[in-house]
């Protein structure tokens, strides 16, 4: 945990001098260090619904408008917005599907929770000392 708080911001600030670069990936950008994000030159942003994360992205991105916020919120899996030095202007792109497909689908909550045929408990242990 100490490396997250001290090591990554230092690498982000000074790493280029030593040809050391970072690729940061997060589903919760608001939990990332603002120092690290401020040193990023390019951003690939997939769908984000959380207003806290959207406000954070708005605060760190140099090229951001309400149009991009709408595009980010309306993105479907496989779409992203790319901002930064690597592209001449912000781009909306479709990411190629992985082949073979990863085993990482979203679960179907209603099926998982309510289509249970039988619930079995093998053993219940009660710790009276707690």
Instruction: List the 42-45 sheet strands across, edge first.
Output: 42-45, 79-84, 91-94
User: Considering the domain boundaries, does residue 125 fall inside one?
Assistant: no
User: Considering the domain boundaries, does residue 44 fall inside one?
Assistant: yes
Q: Could you report the per-residue pLDDT of 88-124, keeping only the tens digit for each?
A: 888 889 988 888 887 777 777 777 777 655 555 566 6
User: Considering the domain boundaries, does residue 117 fall inside one?
Assistant: no
User: Considering the domain boundaries, does residue 10 fall inside one?
Assistant: yes
Cα within 13 Å of Cα(63), Cβ side: 17
User: Considering the domain boundaries, does residue 32 fall inside one?
Assistant: yes
CA–CA gap between residue 94 and residue 15 (Å, rounded) = 31
User: Considering the domain boundaries, does residue 40 fall inside one?
Assistant: yes
Predicted confidence band of residue 130 (pLDDT cuts 50, 70, 90): low
Predicted confidence band of residue 63 (pLDDT cuts 50, 70, 90): low
3-state secondary structure of 46: coil
Asked whether 15 and 22 are in contact (CB, 8 A), the reply is yes
Residue 59 has pLDDT above 50, yes or no: yes
CA–CA gap between residue 77 and residue 30 (Å, rounded) = 20
Asked whether 48 and 21 are in contact (CB, 8 A), the reply is no
Q: Which domain holds residue 7?
A: 2-98
The CATH number of the domain where 32 resides is what? 3.40.50.300
User: Considering the domain boundaries, does residue 111 fall inside one?
Assistant: no
Count: domains in the chain? 1
Q: Give the model's pLDDT for residue 117.
A: 57
CA–CA gap between residue 19 and residue 64 (Å, rounded) = 29
Q: Give the model's pLDDT for residue 76.
A: 84
Beta bridge partners of 91: 82
78 conformational bin, left if phi > 0, alpha if psi -120 to 50, beta if neither: left
Task: Calculate what percentage of the chain has a pLDDT beyond 70.
Answer: 81
């Amino acid at each position: 945990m100490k490396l997250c708080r001290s090591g990554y911001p230092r690498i982000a600030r000074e790493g280029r001098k030593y040809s050391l670069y970072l690729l940061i990936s997060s589903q919760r950008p608001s939990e990332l260090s603002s120092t690290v994000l401020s040193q990023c030159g390019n951003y690939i942003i997939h769908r984000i619904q959380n207003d806290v994360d959207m406000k954070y992205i708005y605060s760190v991105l140099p090229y951001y408008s309400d149009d991009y916020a709408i595009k980010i919120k309306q993105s479907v899996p496989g779409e992203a917005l790319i901002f930064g030095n690597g592209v001449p202007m912000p781009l909306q792109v479709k990411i190629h599907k992985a082949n073979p497909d990863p085993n990482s689908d979203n679960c179907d909550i209603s099926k998982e929770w309510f289509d249970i045929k039988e619930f079995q408990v093998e053993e219940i242990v009660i710790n009276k000392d707690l």
